[in-house]
């Protein structure tokens, strides 16, 4: 520990089988908030090093902390998405070109989320034990989630896709993709507070809250022609926002790079299929009106969506 040898104990046994687990107890007077470097040596002298950036006691699950982490997830997920959905009445007053701009903006938001989630999945996969093959695992999770959502979406006839129910299903797919992305954000916030990084955790809460308001606008964009019920909006907000609560709980009490890699991989596949679905809706609307799909208005909406997410991402990087 910190370049010095210390007494230690291991249970249940010092020899581990493949995928085996053991608990190592080191008799060391660690200091709250200070960094420590721990190196374990095998019988053959092979070192395994782990850095503890900030020493803090592992939080023990209890009702108070359970509620606290749950509220963190609500603050960064449910509330900002709900605030974004409140723009729906104003969005309904826009004309045809305005609605196409919003759909293109939604694609821009999703493209940014796709790249951001993919990069985060690769980063987290690098911390997974080599035997689990983190990067291929993330790619397989993305592939399976994409195929699963595509199989469900493929059951819809083309006419159904252009109905009010079809547009609501597209909004639900957007909410699902955003929800899986917010799951990763919840993991980051929960892990930050669990490690004692209160300043970083608070910074992430503020940043993700502002960052996620725009996601509610993207969810509402496909249904601006319709009048969804209040229950539908509540369900959409819950689908997009509540995964952040689950992420905060997992990150705070049992953060696992392996689980995070799987969740983020699933998010990548889901977001990709959502981009395809929204793109189809945008193409159908353009063809119906006899307008070009790749117009300056649509390109402007796409770039605006990417720019908004990029600028608000400065608050969480």
Alpha helices in 93-196 (DSSP H): 96-125, 134-153, 158-161, 164-194
pTM beyond 0.75: no
Say which residue the tokens 């990087």 belong to: 317
Contact 74, 209 (CB under 8 A): no
CA atoms of 231 and 219, how far apart (whole Å): 15
The pLDDT of 289-293, averaged and rounded, is: 74
Say which residue the tokens 């502002």 belong to: 210
pLDDT in tens, 153-187: 665 545 455 677 778 888 888 888 888 888 877 88
Q: What is the pLDDT of residue 97?
A: 76
Q: What is the pLDDT of residue 136?
A: 92
CA atoms of 138 and 255, how far apart (whole Å): 17
Phi-psi region of 240 (alpha: psi -120 to 50; beta: other; left: phi over 0): alpha
Helices 63-73 and 164-194, interaxial angle, to 10°? 130
Handedness of CA 157, 177, 275, 164 (dihedral sign): positive
Question: In the structure, what pLDDT confidence band is assigned to residue 233 with cuts at 50, 70 and 90?
Answer: very high
Q: What is the pLDDT of residue 231?
A: 92
Question: In the structure, what pLDDT confidence band is assigned to residue 134 with cuts at 50, 70 and 90?
Answer: confident
- Which range (159-163, 213-217, 234-238, 286-290) has the least confidence? 159-163
pLDDT in tens, 25-75: 988 888 887 888 899 988 888 898 888 877 777 767 778 888 888 888 898
Q: What is the pLDDT of residue 207?
A: 66
Alpha helices in 86-133 (DSSP H): 88-92, 96-125
Alpha-carbon distances, residue 29 vs 34, 71, 194, 204, 245 (angstroms): 11, 33, 20, 31, 34
Residue from 149, 141, 146 nearest 125 by CA: 141
CA atoms of 97 and 109, how far apart (whole Å): 18
Mean pLDDT of the chain: 81
Residue from 156, 180, 150, 181 nearest 168 by CA: 156
Q: What is the pLDDT of residue 161?
A: 58
Question: In the structure, what pLDDT confidence band is assigned to residue 143 with cuts at 50, 70 and 90?
Answer: very high
Q: What is the pLDDT of residue 182?
A: 83
- Which range (50-54, 134-138, 240-244, 269-273) has the least confidence? 50-54
CA atoms of 245 and 215, how far apart (whole Å): 17
The pLDDT of 231-243, averaged and rounded, is: 92
The total number of residues written for the chain in this structure: 317
Contact 124, 260 (CB under 8 A): yes
Q: What is the pLDDT of residue 167?
A: 81
Beta bridge partners of 47: 41
Domain map (residue ranges) of the chain: 8-52, 63-313
Percent of the chain at pLDDT > 70 equals 90
CA atoms of 147 and 153, how far apart (whole Å): 10
Say which residue the tokens 């007077």 belong to: 29
């Amino acid at each position: 520990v910190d370049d010095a040898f210390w007494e230690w104990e291991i249970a249940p046994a010092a020899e581990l089988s493949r995928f085996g687990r053991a608990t190592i107890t080191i008799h060391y007077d660690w200091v709250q908030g200070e960094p420590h470097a721990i190196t374990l040596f095998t019988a053959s002298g092979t070192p395994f090093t782990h850095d503890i950036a900030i020493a803090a006691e592992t939080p023990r699950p209890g009702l108070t902390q359970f509620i606290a982490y749950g509220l963190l997830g609500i603050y960064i997920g449910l509330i900002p998405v709900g605030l974004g959905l409140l723009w729906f009445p104003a969005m309904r007053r826009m004309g045809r070109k305005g609605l196409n701009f919003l759909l293109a903006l939604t694609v821009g938001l999703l493209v940014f989320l796709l790249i951001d989630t993919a990069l985060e999945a690769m980063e987290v996969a690098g911390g997974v034990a080599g035997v689990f093959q983190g990067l291929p695992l993330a790619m397989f999770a993305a592939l399976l989630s994409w195929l699963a959502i595509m199989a469900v979406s493929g059951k819809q006839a083309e006419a159904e896709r252009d109905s009010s129910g079809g547009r609501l299903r597209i909004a639900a797919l957007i909410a699902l993709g955003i929800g899986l992305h917010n799951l990763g954000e919840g993991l980051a916030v929960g892990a930050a507070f669990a490690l004692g990084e209160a300043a970083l955790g608070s910074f992430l809460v503020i940043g993700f809250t502002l960052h996620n308001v725009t996601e509610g606008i993207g969810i509402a964009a496909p249904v601006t022609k319709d009048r969804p019920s209040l229950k539908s909006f509540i369900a959409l907000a819950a689908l997009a926002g509540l995964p952040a609560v689950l992420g905060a709980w997992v990150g705070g009490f049992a953060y696992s790079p392996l689980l995070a890699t799987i969740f983020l991989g699933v998010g990548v596949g889901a977001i990709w299929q959502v981009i395809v679905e929204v793109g189809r809706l945008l193409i159908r609307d353009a063809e119906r009106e006899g307008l070009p799909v790749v117009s300056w208005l649509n390109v402007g909406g796409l770039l605006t969506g990417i720019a908004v997410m990029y600028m608000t991402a400065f608050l969480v990087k």
